[in-house]
Amino acid sequence: MPNSSTADPAFVLDGVGVSFASTRALKQVGLTIGTGEAVALVGPSGSGKTTLLRLLNGMLRADQGSVHSLGEEVGVVNTRRLRELRARIAFIPQDRGLVPNLSVVQNVLLGRVGRRSLLGALRDMMLPPKPEEEAIHALLERVGLPEKIFDRVDTLSGGQKQRVALARALYQDPRAILADEPVSSLDPARARDLVGLLLEVAREGGLTLVTSIHQLDLALEFFPRVVGLRGGKIVFDGPPSALGEKETASLYDLSQQEMGKE
Amino acid sequence: MNRLLSRESRAPLLFGLLAGGLLAALLLRLNPLDLWAGTAGWELAGKILGGAFRPALDYEAATVPEGAAPLWLKILGAAGRTLLFAIAALSLGAVLGVPLAVLGSESAWRGWPVWLGRLVRPPVRLFQAALRSVHELLWAVLFLAAFGLSDLTAVLALAIPYAGILSKIYGEVLDETPVASQRALLALGGNRLQAFTLGLLPRALPDLVSYTFYRLECAVRASAVLGFVGISTLGLYLRQSFENGHYREVWSYLYALLLLVFLLDLWSSTLRRRLK
């Protein structure tokens, strides 16, 4: 396992189990992700990828086992510490979570809400301070969208929205990025561009990157480490080169798939 | 709503509505022959309806007091005050309605302990219902009896039921607004107030404003009706002209109200389109 034995791992899951009603979403999951690592979570729908991501920033609490993120035990910290932790972990949800009728710059500004007062954030959104606006312009340049800074988000294409979500994540100045199916709604060429961009900016910033992704080809092409989930269990963890035909088949084989029902 | 109007339930629903209507008419002993007025009645009805074709352009009274403003100016002033009362009442209603809507909504309590929302929401919603269950005309009559009707009490009488209606609809708008951005702000470290105010509210704002403008039309009508209990809106002069038998003047006031509502509708629908 590359890098996973780094002295200061970014994320550690130990014996983690999560249940929703009668469904076991995760069973006995153990996983260590080193600082600066880039990990793709792959597996069929309902295998627990999103659940795992949501554990890492405490949007979800484990029923069993422990989750450590950036050195904090997520399940036990108080609300304030949890918010501070979330401010250091950028989470890009599958639906992106942008405010469609606000401009790009206003949406990116929201990335720092965790460190601002309500009134301060409100004032910034009405009248973005010049230095912030310049910083955001630079970020948008990095993600390839500088000319759209004052456009309303609902006028943008799916790929452009994803870039805004990425810019918001970067503006957050995080230690790690969690992205839930960042390219699921994009065509293959744009999806490829965006995954490449995601890895580049993570590498540049020394950020830990954990992404769920259902396009196996992109996971294998771009990520040094791929974690395969099926029925709430980790069935593969290693470099793409170790994921042979047999493993791929068993990962996605419907006849073998355990749906996670109790 | 959709389930109610599904294909299978449409026929029974329609039948039920019809049956209910018939039953109500029977219980009220509604008699179509009541529309048949006596000879004197027909004469009066003819006079009143006849005014519709030739509304008064000047006073109908034989003697008009010295220095009285021309009729068109009086109508214009009354229409202006009708609009002003409506705007004042609607603004006050919106200001009172927003906090009530937020406290009574589901979306504002997202992320809070469940029991807290369950504790606060029912009394707030009951209060909203209480505000809107009494019609503005009844409030006006109450105030008239208690304080004597002034312009301020008239605005209050209008604003109270509007606060109730607006808070109910605002709450529904908030709860129908997609939660994605509110959730995203919680996920990146925002607190519940920030997530609601910056993630959900901006998204709901166009619909909130749009509905408020939609309501302005109703407020104008209500403000005109309040003239019947004495405030100086179109209704007051309409009633005076009616009682003096000046039916052509009555129509002048009615047409002024019609025009006012029509212009407002035109203006507010353009505005609402632009808010989309």
Residue labelled with tokens 């422990």: A66
Q: What ipTM was reported for this prediction?
A: 0.88
Residue A161 to residue B184: CA distance in whole angstroms? 14
Q: What is the dihedral of CA A85, A86, A87, A88, to 10 degrees?
A: 60
B197 vs A84, A87, A118: nearest CB: A118
- Token readout for B221 is 């009508």
Residue B127 to residue B133: CA distance in whole angstroms? 10
Give the strands of the sheet with A208-212, arranged side by side.
Answer: A89-92, A176-180, A208-212, A38-42, A225-230, A233-238
Please spell the DSSP secondary structure of B197-208, one letter per residue.
Answer: IIIIHHHHHHHH
Most confident of A85-94, B7-16, B42-51, B142-151: A85-94
Residue A175 to residue A171: CA distance in whole angstroms? 11
B198/A110 Cβ within 8 A: yes
B191/A83 Cβ within 8 A: yes
Residue B234 to residue B85: CA distance in whole angstroms? 11
Residue B42 to residue B50: CA distance in whole angstroms? 11
- Residues of chain B with Cβ-Cβ distance to A101 below 8 Å are 202-203, 205-206
B166-207 pLDDT per residue, tens: 999 999 999 999 999 999 999 999 999 999 999 999 999 999
pLDDT at residue B188 in the model: 94
B235-251 pLDDT per residue, tens: 999 999 999 988 999 99
B183/A102 Cβ within 8 A: no
Interface test with B, best of A60, A86, A99, A104 (most B CBs within 10 A): A99
User: Across the strands, what pairs with B253?
Assistant: none
Least confident of A161-175, B28-42, B102-116: B28-42
Q: How would you class B232 by CB atoms within 10 Å of its CB: exposed for 0-12, middle for 13-18, buried for 19 or more?
A: middle
A90/B203 Cβ within 8 A: no
Interface test with A, best of B102, B185, B188, B275 (most A CBs within 10 A): B188
Which of the four pLDDT bands, split at 50, 70 and 90, describes residue B273? confident
Residue A234 to residue A47: CA distance in whole angstroms? 9
A164-210 pLDDT per residue, tens: 999 999 999 999 999 999 998 899 999 999 999 999 999 999 999 99
Chain B residues in contact with chain A using a Cβ-Cβ cutoff of 8 Å: 180-181, 183-191, 193-195, 197-199, 202-203, 205-206
Which of the four pLDDT bands, split at 50, 70 and 90, describes residue B150? confident
Residue labelled with tokens 């590498």: A203
Q: How close B195 gets to chain A, by Cα (Å)?
A: 9
Residue B238 to residue B30: CA distance in whole angstroms? 29
Residue B222 CB neighbour total at 10 angstroms:
25
What is the share, in percent, of chain B residues with pLDDT greater than 90? 63
pLDDT at residue B148 in the model: 84
- Residues of chain A with Cβ-Cβ distance to B185 below 8 Å are 97, 110, 113
Cβ(A207)–Cβ(A176) below 8 Å: yes
Average the pLDDT over B60-87 and give the result. Answer: 89
Residue B183 to residue B192: CA distance in whole angstroms? 9
Cβ(A227)–Cβ(A233) below 8 Å: no
Taking CA atoms, what residue in A is nearest to B195? A113
The DSSP code for B128 is: H
Please spell the DSSP secondary structure of B225-254, one letter per residue.
Answer: HHGGGT-SSHHHHHHHHHHTT-HHHHHHHH
The CA-atom distances, in angstroms, between A161 and each of A211, B47, B198 are: 17, 66, 18
Q: How close A59 gets to chain B, by Cα (Å)?
A: 7
The DSSP code for B68 is: P
Q: What is the pTM of this model?
A: 0.82
List chain A pLDDT tens, one digit each, 262 residues: 444 444 689 999 999 999 887 777 899 999 999 999 999 999 988 889 999 999 999 999 999 999 999 999 998 999 899 999 999 999 999 999 999 999 999 999 999 998 889 999 999 999 999 999 999 999 999 999 999 999 999 999 999 999 999 999 999 999 999 999 999 889 999 999 999 999 999 999 999 999 999 999 999 999 999 999 998 999 999 999 888 777 787 788 755 444 444 3
A90-117 pLDDT per residue, tens: 999 999 999 999 999 999 999 999 888 9
- Provide the H-helix boundaries in chain B: 7-27, 39-50, 71-104, 114-133, 136-147, 151-176, 180-187, 192-194, 201-226, 234-243, 247-275
A-B Cβ pairs (cutoff 8 Å, strict)? 79
